[in-house]
Amino acid sequence: MLSQSVEYALRAAVFLAREGEPRTTAQVAEATQVPAAYLSKVLQGLSRAGIVRSQRGIGGGMTLVSAPDELTILDVVNAVEPLQRIETCPLGLLEHGVKLCALHRRLDNAMKSVEDAFRHSTLADVLADPNPSVPLCGGNTADEA
Amino acid sequence: MLSQSVEYALRAAVFLAREGEPRTTAQVAEATQVPAAYLSKVLQGLSRAGIVRSQRGIGGGMTLVSAPDELTILDVVNAVEPLQRIETCPLGLLEHGVKLCALHRRLDNAMKSVEDAFRHSTLADVLADPNPSVPLCGGNTADEA
DNA sequence: CTGAAACTGGACGTTATTGTCCTGTTTCGG
DNA sequence: CCGAAACAGGACAATAACGTCCAGTTTCAG
């Protein structure tokens, strides 16, 4: 339902939030299990959107611009691929303005619930979650079956 | 966020629910404002999934198999493109089984909220909604600005 | 100044989605 | 039986998403 690029961007953002210091695209790619060359494009997008800052040269890499408790999942999602709410009737014939029909009202309500959930989760929340599985799944602090 | 095909399928399902009798692909296409040739494919999918029944020849067309109050938005969505919940860690390295990390737990919760919303809306609910905009937006029972 | 590290951006290939078109097959009315 | 109505399904085209590769540019260490 969410695009691959969004998934990649979220993994990268969570990783960068945890690290706190500049990390190269290669490092992020390995930690998040994302194709490096493609991740590069995704990070470029995040950079243009002002989510991350890039620094070239030795010691450079990618850093989050905001503090993890100031950056929500929604911010990241919207930077890559805006979560589009249904504003007007998709059929477009008779613009109902803000009055969507019963079908599209329900679809948009579902979108809204996703938007709200994402808006209320900051990266800090994700990192602080008392969950035995570490956010990027690369390691595990708990026992496995 | 939802694919175009899903949107088309929902429009078609709502229309067929309202009509109650066989309607040809061309009729559905006009009412729902969907490219007829493409809608044909979408309806074929709904037919294979057992959502609609097709009847060839004169007087034939598409009909809903179930009663509108027995068919949910989720049924239609899943017939076209299954709403995929996140069951296991997308990184796949160390399968955490049912224990998703904090990030994917949140993403899956969002999916679940959509799934639940769709599961609790039947086509009958959509048709009975006291909304001035008629479900397919092609007409309007209320005044417009 | 030089070179390695690291991002930037364009070109390109692959695949999935969306959309079109046409031929065939089933069905029913007369 | 015949023909029109209507779906079925394959072939194809256009577009976007996903992914790869490489040359160029910035930056810092020494």
pLDDT digits (tens, 9 = 90+) for B3-12: 999 999 999 9
For residue A116, pLDDT beyond 60: yes
Searching chain B, which residue's CA lies closest to the CA of residue A127? B102
| Average pLDDT of the segment spanning A14-32 | 97
| Average pLDDT of the segment spanning A34-59 | 97
| Closest residue by Cα to residue B15 from B144, B134, B95 | B134
| Contact residues, B window 77-116, toward A, CB-based 8 Å cutoff | 83-84, 89-94, 96-97, 99-107, 109-111, 113-114
Contact A117 B134 (CB under 8 A): no
Considering chain A, what is the average pLDDT of its residues?
Answer: 90
For residue B130, pLDDT beyond 90: no
pLDDT-derived band at B140 (thresholds 50, 70, 90) equals very low
Q: List the nucleotides on chain D closer than 7 A to a protein CB.
A: 3-9, 17-22, 25-29
For residue B142, pLDDT beyond 90: no
Tokens coding B50:
């057992």
Measured CA to CA, the distance from residue A3 to residue A77 in angstroms comes to: 10
| Average pLDDT of the segment spanning B113-125 | 98
Measured CA to CA, the distance from residue B32 to residue B9 in angstroms comes to: 10
| Average pLDDT of the segment spanning A13-19 | 97
For residue A73, pLDDT beyond 50: yes
Contact A10 B91 (CB under 8 A): no
| Average pLDDT of the segment spanning A19-37 | 97
pTM for the model stands at: 0.92
pLDDT digits (tens, 9 = 90+) for B35-93: 999 999 999 999 999 999 999 999 999 999 999 999 999 999 999 999 999 998 898 76
| Residue B97 pLDDT | 64
Residue A145 CB coordination number (10 Å): 7
pLDDT digits (tens, 9 = 90+) for A120-139: 999 999 999 887 777 776 65
Closest-CA distance, A91 to chain B, in angstroms, reads 6
Residue A72 CB coordination number (10 Å): 21
Considering chain B, what is the average pLDDT of its residues?
Answer: 90
Closest-CA distance, B21 to chain A, in angstroms, reads 20
Tokens 């009737």, located at residue: A89
| Residue A98 pLDDT | 64
For residue A78, pLDDT beyond 60: yes
For residue B137, pLDDT beyond 80: no
Name, in order, each residue with C-beta under 8 angstroms of B47's C-beta and a sequence gap of 6 or more: B53, B54, B62
| Residue B141 pLDDT | 44
